[in-house]
Amino acid sequence: MVSSFESIPARERIIVALDCGIDEAFDLADQLQGKATWLKVGMTLFYANGPAIVYALKERGFKVFLDLKFHDIPHQVEGASASATGNGADMLTMHAVGGVDMMRAAQKGAVRAAAEYGFDVPATLAITVLTSMDEENLEEIGVNRTVADQVAVLAELTKEAGISGVVASPKEAAELREILGPEAYIVTPGVRPAGAERGDQSRVATPAEAFAAGASHIVIGRPITQADDPAAAFERIAAEL
């Protein structure tokens, strides 16, 4: 199935993960300004610095993927989603295993806060199976499905909840595109340029493979952020796509 995101330039579909401290984050942002569109703020950076890091990156002209993976009762997740939207997040995440009611609450909070602050409604994304996990890890937590089957089950719940899309390995992107349709966001971490180290990721693909499989956006961290010249590394990846 053709994705509606294919008309968007590749460089605008690459999300650079700032999994680091604030000084390094600002240094990377300054180097990537005018090149990258998206930056990811995860738990490490956000919990150390709070909403101020989102404001600062937005002021530099970036879109911010706020990856805090909400997972709580629906009331709490609705509030968290509203707060994240009010902070200026352009994407936010929750765990699909929280269920349909929780995901609907996240969407409700995002829509409410966007109207209140005059912002666009952020993309609301459900985490299916973390890209660091495999079948053995699933079995440890009592899930007796293959990774692909578990991802498909959670994707169906995501669709029922009416949120924007999912976060999943590029290995599952093609099936997810069939399940969720051409308009859904399918954001894939676990993306490594050819020859790069896997790090702590179990299910990986190259950027080109991820887009070919149907990903709307790809998340790349260390191959860019730990390069001698992060801006040049970003440009090389964008050019290859």
For residue 130, which of 145, 158, 151, 144 has the smallest C-alpha distance?
151
| Residue located via tokens 């200026």 | 88
User: In this structure, are residues 202 and 172 in contact, taking their beta carbons and an 8 Å threshold?
Assistant: no
Annotated active-site residue 69? The verdict is yes
Residues 6+ apart with CB under 8 A from 96: 103, 126, 127, 128, 154, 155, 157, 158, 166
Note the residue count of the chain. 241
- Assigned token pair, 164: 């924007």
Q: Is residue 203 within 8 Å of residue 131, measured between CB atoms?
A: yes
Q: How far apart are CA 118 and CA 106, in angstroms?
A: 18
> CB under 8 Å to 141, separation ≥6 — which residues?
none
Q: Which of 40, 58, 63, 69 is catalytic?
A: 69
- Strand, coil or helix: what is 216? coil
Structure tokens at 113: 């806060």
Nearest CA to 219 out of 19, 17, 33, 45 is that of 17
CB 166 within 8 A of CB 128: yes
List the catalytic residues: 69
